[in-house]
Amino acid sequence: MKARVVVMPKKDVLDPQGKAVSGALHALGHANVEDVRIGKLIILDLGDDLNSDEATSKVTEMCEALLANTVIEEYSFELEG
Amino acid sequence: MRWAVVTFPGSNCDQDCVDQLGRVLNQDVVSVWHGDSELPEVDCVLLPGGFSYGDYLRAGSIARFSPIMKAVTAFANKGGFVLGICNGFQILLEAGLLPGAMQRNIGLSFICESVSLKVENKSSALTCQVPSDTQVLEIPIAHMEGNYTADEETLKALNENGQVLFRYCTEQGNVNDAANPNGSAGNIAGISNANGNVFGMMPHPERASENILGGTDGAYLFQSLIATMEGQR
């Protein structure tokens, strides 16, 4: 089973990278870009031993402890396979 | 007084701290490896600057799980003095020993320059030896992730409890946007925990503790801790 974890800056947290990329896209003429947010995609290979409830619980634990800093980031994930 | 300076893989200011504390300030200093699980008998633990674990994931996020951090956390929770400088500050935030978090600098640049710092609280263990006629310290910063952030409630508590120790300011001591190098909330450059025994600051006092380095303002901070610890003996 694999988990695709997406970590994003919280909505009310300023994202300096997103802001810079937004500015660059505007400079390239993409005026329809209203906002850019940049986060991280983390793919975990969990092997074959966990059922999906166990995997959900484990991945949540990993996100809370290490993968996301919940002071400034939020996370979501999908399990595959 | 006896100090432990922790070296993580990627720390690069650890020996500067050992040198300034030992040679310049005449302290007893022990180097401690991140993989150790116990601290030696010390009065203060210093987490130095650098790029622990290459700043992978987030600055300080992996170092906070180093074996030594359990001992550092226990030491801090018993009231022991802990000072985190730059990456050390980031590690203390990730470990939850200090409130808030660091984001990338607002201009997305690594900034290495001398900055002016307004000392907001001169009664803390880290600032009590700053002379009464000195309001502004000149100490260098060198970081990519020094943009301090916290929710409104946390910022309010920091302000009300005197936990904000330093703010970026102009040479004259004015705290304003123009003097904010990295976008930190309220120009915050250094804070303490509510108990006043854990400190984090982005500027590097060990780079401004003797004249040959271009300034001695950083020494006031080490001298403050030394005086406080001696007073408690």
Choose the closest CB to B149 out of A20, A40, A72. A72
- The answer to whether B69 faces chain A, any CB pair under 8 Å, is no
Tens digit of each residue's pLDDT, chain B (233 residues) = 999 999 999 999 999 999 999 999 999 999 999 999 999 999 999 999 999 999 999 999 999 999 999 999 999 999 999 999 999 999 999 999 999 999 999 989 999 999 999 999 999 999 999 999 999 999 999 999 999 999 999 999 999 999 999 999 999 999 999 999 999 999 999 999 999 999 999 999 999 999 999 999 999 999 999 999 999 87
- Domain with residue A7: its CATH number is 3.30.1280.10
The whole-angstrom separation of Cα A69 and Cα A75 is 9
Are residues B58 and A20, on separate chains, in Cβ contact within 8 Å?
A: no
pLDDT at site B210: 95
Q: Which residue of A has its CA nearest to B61?
A: A66
Arithmetic mean of pLDDT, A47-67: 97
Which residues on chain B are in Cβ contact (under 8 Å) with A9?
Answer: 103
pLDDT band, residue A74 (cuts 50/70/90): very high
Which residues on chain A are in Cβ contact (under 8 Å) with B93?
Answer: 71
What token pair was written down for A71?
């002071």
Are residues A14 and B183, on separate chains, in Cβ contact within 8 Å?
A: yes
Are residues B57 and A14, on separate chains, in Cβ contact within 8 Å?
A: no
Give the strand order in the sheet containing A73-80.
A40-45, A2-9, A73-80
Arithmetic mean of pLDDT, A3-20: 92
ipTM for the complex?
Answer: 0.85
Cα torsion A8, A9, A10, A13 to 10°: value is -170
Is B169 among the catalytic positions?
Answer: no
Is B206 among the catalytic positions?
Answer: yes
Choose the closest CB to B61 out of A13, A14, A69. A69
Name the CATH superfamily, with its identifier, for domain B2-232. Answer: Class I glutamine amidotransferase (GATase) domain (3.40.50.880)
- The answer to whether B67 faces chain A, any CB pair under 8 Å, is no
Is B17 among the catalytic positions?
Answer: no
Looking at per-residue confidence, does A81 or B64 come out higher? B64
Q: Percentage of residues in chain A with pLDDT exceeding 70?
A: 100
pLDDT at site A81: 83
Choose the closest CB to A16 out of B57, B62, B103. B103
pLDDT at site B161: 97
pTM higher than the cut 0.90: yes
Residue A62 sits in which domain range?
2-80
Instruction: Please state the domain count of chain A.
Output: 1
> Is pLDDT of A12 > 90?
no
SS (H, E, C) B70-103: HHHHHHHHCCCEEEEECHHHHHHHHCCCCCCEEE
> Is pLDDT of A16 > 90?
no
Question: Å from B3 to nearest chain A CA?
Answer: 29
Are residues A66 and B107, on separate chains, in Cβ contact within 8 Å?
A: no
B33-49 CB burial, b ≥16 within 10 A, e <16: ebeeeebeebbbbbbbb
Q: Which residue of B has its CA nearest to A42?
A: B57
